[in-house]
Amino acid sequence: MTIKDEKLLSKVGFKPHEGQEAVLKAVQNEKIRDITLSAGRRFGKSLLCAYMALREILIPNRRVWIVAPTYDLTQKVFTYLLQFIGKIFEHGSYRIQTRPFPKLTLPNGSWVECKSTENPNGLLGEEVDLLIVDEAAMTPPNIYERYLFPVTTSRRGRTIFISTPFGKNWFYRKFVECTEKEDGASFNYPSNINPEFPSSEWERARKMLPEAVFKQEHLATFLDDAASVFRGIKDIIDNTYEEPLPTHRYILGVDLAKMEDFTVLTVVDRFSHKVVAWDRFNKVEYPLQKARISAMAKKYNNAKVIVDSTGVGNPITDDLRREELVIDDFKFTNKSKKELVDKLSIFIEQKGVWIPNEPILIDELESFGYQMTESGNIKYSAPIGLHDDCVMSLGLAVWGLYSIDTIKDKQEDPVNFLLEEKRGRKIRVRR
């Protein structure tokens, strides 16, 4: 069956702009199996994904997956697809399911399923003719290699990778690969190729955003480490933990688990700025979590505990205070999180903190970046579908440290250093 795009586009009321048309021409070429689209925000990626899924399932007995880091992201594409379907088929002639995941089945035997990389086990055991990976740059590379790549092999299906860049990660490598191979195609377009993107908003974004952010989010430029907040991580790795020393004082940063996240405990020596103890766990009842936090703090000379008191943190901090622990609350807001991340970034870059050789911690630091909100603001966070618990725990511990210079100046006399600190000497981090 041959799809006549001109007629289909007219029927569903979709008028692709120049960039979308170029991608659709590649889709029409059956010899091309892998297509990569790097595009700026508001290019119209979701609408394009929906149309590509539509033209595939109009062919009998075709299978399509729309995969994104979360189900919420697939829902936008799925909604557009349902709008298209409603203009072609009579209501009731097709079947829609919402649980356990969105799925559309047509009377010709074709179907579309929405999948999330948050649940890798749900990506096993299926074969598809078309795989659409939306926000591909936010998808962990091992998820694609282990779970997604195999689903197109038996049916010799096609894969379309669509995303805004996120540094030069695996999506960039896939973009280059598709550019070079005969059965691949790559496209790169800025946001304003979409005529519906107002020129006033383009100029506002150019003026308001940092240059690197504007280039990546709107020009769709692949930048070296553009998405990375922390620089020089490999230079601050220390391979050993330490038992508490009688003359030293410590800070314990605690990021408490929320839902499926992890609780992470990070102990930093206030004199050497070295992470001397570290623990990470999840699915532990709160009484046991409190016991572990208390035990860690008491072991390290009654360490000051700086804990995320947002949400579930409030009752836990109250209980810890009853055990006569020194507790500092830290409430996460967009503003306070930015300040915490900025300080941690400075300490890492200037070698003002030393971290253990923990792969999970290092991976989180390296992948931690920013996201653009719908309003165009910058929000620090882990990539969609990944965790930042280790980063936040380390950040909370570093929050209690003073200037990097005090470490260099006071290495000979930790006792005097603590006396000066106790007298309330104001020491600030260089910015």
Residue 248 contacts residue 269 (beta carbons within 8 Å): yes
| Amino acid 67: pLDDT | 95
Position 15 pLDDT exceeds 50: yes
User: Do the first three CATH levels of 5-217 and 233-422 match, i.e. the same topology?
Assistant: no
| Amino acid 209: pLDDT | 76
Q: Among residues 350, 385, 388, which one has the least CA distance to residue 369? A: 388
Q: What is the C-alpha separation between 190 and 19, in angstroms, rounded?
A: 9
> Where is 61: in which H helix or E strand?
none
Give the DSSP per-residue string, 377-403. -EEEEPPTTS--HHHHHHHHHHHT---
| Amino acid 126: pLDDT | 86
| Alpha-carbon distances, residue 244 vs 74, 208, 266, 269, 307 (angstroms) | 49, 47, 14, 9, 20
| Amino acid 227: pLDDT | 54
Q: How many C-beta neighbours within 10 Å does residue 202 have?
A: 17
Position 410 pLDDT exceeds 70: no
Position 387 pLDDT exceeds 70: yes
430 confidence band (pLDDT: 50, 70, 90): very low
Contacts 24+ apart (CB under 8 A), 289-297: 289/256, 289/257, 289/263, 289/316, 290/316, 290/319, 290/320, 292/265, 293/252, 293/254, 293/265, 293/320, 294/320, 294/323, 294/325, 296/252, 296/265, 296/267, 297/252, 297/325, 297/326
Higher pLDDT, 14 or 416: 14
Higher pLDDT, 411 or 172: 172
Higher pLDDT, 88 or 381: 88
Q: Which tokens belong to 287?
A: 């009484």
143 confidence band (pLDDT: 50, 70, 90): confident
Domain ranges across the chain: 5-217, 233-422
| Amino acid 298: pLDDT | 95
Higher pLDDT, 240 or 385: 240
| Amino acid 249: pLDDT | 95
CATH of 5-217, picked from 3.40.640.10, 3.40.1160.10, 3.40.50.300, 1.10.10.10, is: 3.40.50.300
| Amino acid 259: pLDDT | 56
409 confidence band (pLDDT: 50, 70, 90): very low
Query: Which pTM value belongs to this model?
Result: 0.62
Q: How many C-beta neighbours within 10 Å does residue 365 have?
A: 23
CATH of domain 233-422: 3.30.420.240
> Where is 131: in which H helix or E strand?
strand 130-134
| Mean pLDDT value of segment 23-50 | 95
- Percent share of the chain, pLDDT over 70: 87
| Residues 184-217: tens digit of each pLDDT | 999 999 999 999 999 998 998 888 776 777 888 8
Average pLDDT value for the chain: 86
